[in-house]
Structure 1
């Protein structure tokens, strides 16, 4: 039987929007099988051999719990309360102990050097300041620990995808709670001071054109 520990917020506040929050929780639960189908092969490589305890930045409704071994513990940094019920359900379904912390990624509240592994997927696009979040990830990772990530990123200049990203940036950001499809997250991660960074650039093919350019990789502290 799995259990959930919940830590309530302190520090930076998250806007609990009455419409966008529930919409995004329902959207990502509905789309989870489709998104996972497109990202599964990359996630299996990047998340291979995860340790017994993992910190996840923005786990949402629990899309990555399937990549943790039953009996593992997920320290979930998730400020959006609309995601919590489904995240807890997913943890029970996958047999994962959940330490749910209603905190912003900029201030996890975790001690220095306390994590062997931090993961994220489709999260750095929506944080307020990726550089601050990446600095926080480095702070909580022990020396040699790994940040394992999959993120969607800005498309190359002059491409049709880049033009669509530019046109749709405002409605996209409003709908998906601040998500930007124009961030060069590879540059942000490489500039964040990790000891080593490996990145794989790739493209998926979905009707959500602004979402189709991606990176996956591992950054070591």
Structure 2
């Protein structure tokens, strides 16, 4: 008799699927260097000169730890428990102090106006409500603070890439924990009420075609 992977809810309300959670932890552990090779030029620009304490939404297995200086503190908001072991190990290797919070990005639990910098990469595509996450970011940022992001977005309407994103919508979301390739995240960022938003659109050239339309930038509180 075989059993299907179970789905469990953490105290945050995030549902961890017994199969997909571990698959995604392993996938990003293995594919991380390949994705980083494509994204590095854009991350280097928006993650330059990070302060000594940074809040990251969806830290995953630690893809962005290399942009923090040794001795820095990362407040990692990561509800996906299967990611935690790899994230802790990566932080230890990098000499980064890890403050790991098992929470969702919509409800970080951090005080109002308590944070200088929030970062994320490939996270807003997966959250339940991007607008609510952006409201939470604005709530915790101090005046003059920054939200720095690298995200993948919907391709322009009528393009072959957009058609492929639409065709793969359901299997892609099922495999990658609800990830959507069809979100207008640039529009959401501009509508979120930040004082200023700088966005650079670009395109990757990878076999993951539906993932190749991207944006990177900085939103100022």
TM class by shorter chain equals: over 0.9
Q: Identify unmatched segments of 5+ residues in structure 1.
A: 1-8
Determine the C-alpha separation between the residues in 2 that align with 1:93 and 1:171: 34
Distance in 2 (CA, whole Å) between partners of 1:83 and 1:89 is: 10
TM-superposed CA distance for 1:12, in Å, is: 3.9
Match for residue 134 of structure 2? 134
- What is aligned with 2:5? none
Q: Once superposed, what is the RMSD of the aligned Cα atoms?
A: 1.1
4+ residue stretches of structure 1 with deviation over 6 A? none
1:94-152 CA-partner distances (Å, limit 9, x unpaired): 10000000001110000000100000000000000000000000000000000000000
Residues of 1 paired with 2:208 and 2:38: CA distance?
A: 12
Give the TM-score normalised by the residue count of structure 1.
Answer: 0.95
Q: 3-state SS of the aligned residue for 1:16?
A: strand
Gaps (5+ residues) in structure 2?
1-8
Q: Is the 8 A contact 1:56 1:75 kept in 2?
A: yes
- Tell which has more relative contact order, 1 or 2 (C-alpha 8 A, sep 6+): 1
Is the Cα contact below 8 Å between 1:112 and 1:141 reproduced in 2?
A: yes
> Is 1:91 paired with 2:91?
yes
Map of 2:22 onto structure 1: 22
Q: Which residue of 1 aligns with 2:67?
A: 67
- 1:76–1:215: structure 2 CA closer, same or farther, 3 Å change rule? same
Does the Cα contact within 8 Å between 2:119 and 2:149 map onto a contact in 1? yes
Q: Structure 1 residue 16: deviation in Å?
A: 1.2
- Mapped pair 1:120 → 2:124: no
